[in-house]
Amino acid sequence: MAKVEIYTTIACPFCTRAVRLLSAKNIDFEKIDVTLSTAKRQAMRTRANGRSSVPQIFINDDHIGGYDDLFRLDQAGHLDNLVSMAS
């Protein structure tokens, strides 16, 4: 199973949607809350090539993007293939 990480903040509707989508598909993921951590937020920005909005989603250390990107990936039928690949 793939390594899935999602950077989130408290009360972020797009973060909630991304978590809900991953959970509905029974995809295990690590949720990293950057709300009160400058260091975690900076690490997210670095990994996401400067993007500072949340959520930022990574599968096997590859940057997927935000919720809209995750949703499009799922709608195109590619999300299941990505997460079934070993890390």
The string of DSSP letters for 49-63 reads: TT--SS-EEEETTEE
**Contacts (Cβ under 8 Å, ≥6 apart) of 68:** 14
Domains in the chain: how many in total?
1
Q: For the whole model, what pTM was predicted?
A: 0.94
Contacts of 41 (CB under 8 A, 6+ apart): 7, 34, 52
Q: pLDDT, tens digit, for every residue of 2-41?
A: 999 999 999 999 999 999 999 999 999 999 999 999 999 9
Reported confidence tier of residue 1, pLDDT bands at 50, 70, 90: confident
Domain of residue 77, residue span: 4-84
CATH number assigned to the domain comprising residue 17: 3.40.30.10
